[in-house]
Amino acid sequence: MERGLAVVGGGGGFIGGFLTKNLLEQGYRVRAVDIKPVDEWYQVHDECENLVLDLKLLDNCREAFAGADRIYQLAADMGGMGFIENNKCLCMLSVLITTHALIVAKEQGVKRFFYSSSACVYNADKQKNEDVIPLKEADAYPAMPEDGYGWEKLFTEHMCRHFREDFGVPTRMVRFHNVYGPNGTWDGGREKAPAAICRKVIQAKLSGDHNIEIWGDGKQTRSFMYIDDCIKGVNMATDSDHILEAINLGSNELVTINGLVDMVEDIAGVKLDRHYKLDAPKGVNGRNSDNTRINELLDWEPGIKLRDGMEKTYNWIYEQMTSNVPSPA
């Protein structure tokens, strides 16, 4: 049975491509919208309507979201730490996308408005130690988020809340913690740590040059959430009547970057000499997700262990690199 029209802003992106596929499987009519040409999308689904529009413009948002029952606003100019730290203004300009999407949602009376926030909203003073205490939602305050990208995300959370309180737009927000998996960027500067490490290990294995460059000292800690767990959480949060404030959506399986390299070396069956680029962008020293709130409200928890997800990701990137397929932009 058809379930109405769902529009995915950023549908040509990594998470957006998987979400579009899932919504089609659920029986929604789906419209995917992205600024990139369709041949640069991470995934293209012929069963849905695919539009190329710059959603920073209000008129384009009106075209993109016309008739939508649900809006999933994932569109943003972003990437890994190398991109975020060197493109702060571009990251901030993404505020225009969600501003205009919310205006259209109010005009049309949409039934659900999902916004993808980020763990980059959290106070940097609470992420100075590698042995980080898992971050609760309240730890975003007092505000000291990632400069540029994090400030845009935190501000937009407040805008979503006020559109709900003042205009009745049924907004739902989650803070993504480092989503990874196949069908994502693995080269070119926007890739995140799991894909970058897989690429570097594969390059070393294929070339026989058993050296690897690691950004930072390798002691920084993170948690990484596999894409399937992410999509399940997005669905549960969007459908819920209890998610009124932004909540964490991430794994709480903490790992150092050195530990992530260990894991990929084990998957690849190689051992590499490590060279640490201490002046490279590395983000905060430690970040982990406290999942108490999402467990209480949704009974959600990640189902895919990091080792299993990294093996799937490694195998996909290996296939792309050995068949000379370019990384998604």
User: Do residues 314 and 268 lie in contact, with contact meaning Cβ atoms separated by under 8 Å?
Assistant: yes
281: which DSSP letter? -
CA distance 100 to 263: 42
Distance from chain centroid for Cα 241: 23
Query: Residue 61: CB partners within 8 Å, gap ≥ 6?
Result: 55, 97, 100, 101, 103, 104
Bridge partners (DSSP) of residue 52 are 34
* d(C-alpha 5, C-alpha 49), whole Å: 10
- Dihedral of CA atoms 203, 205, 206, 210 in degrees, nearest 10, equals 80
Q: Is 312 exposed, middle or buried (0-12, 13-18, 19+ CB in 10 A)?
A: middle
d(CA 256, CA 10) in angstroms, rounded, equals 30
Could you tell me which residues come within 8 angstroms of residue 119 by beta carbon, excluding any fewer than 6 positions away?
Answer: 135, 175, 176, 177, 178, 248, 250, 287, 289
Does the active-site annotation cover 72? no
Can you give the length of the chain in residues?
329
| Residue among 149, 226, 314, 318 flagged as catalytic | 149
Hey, which residues are catalytic here?
A: 149
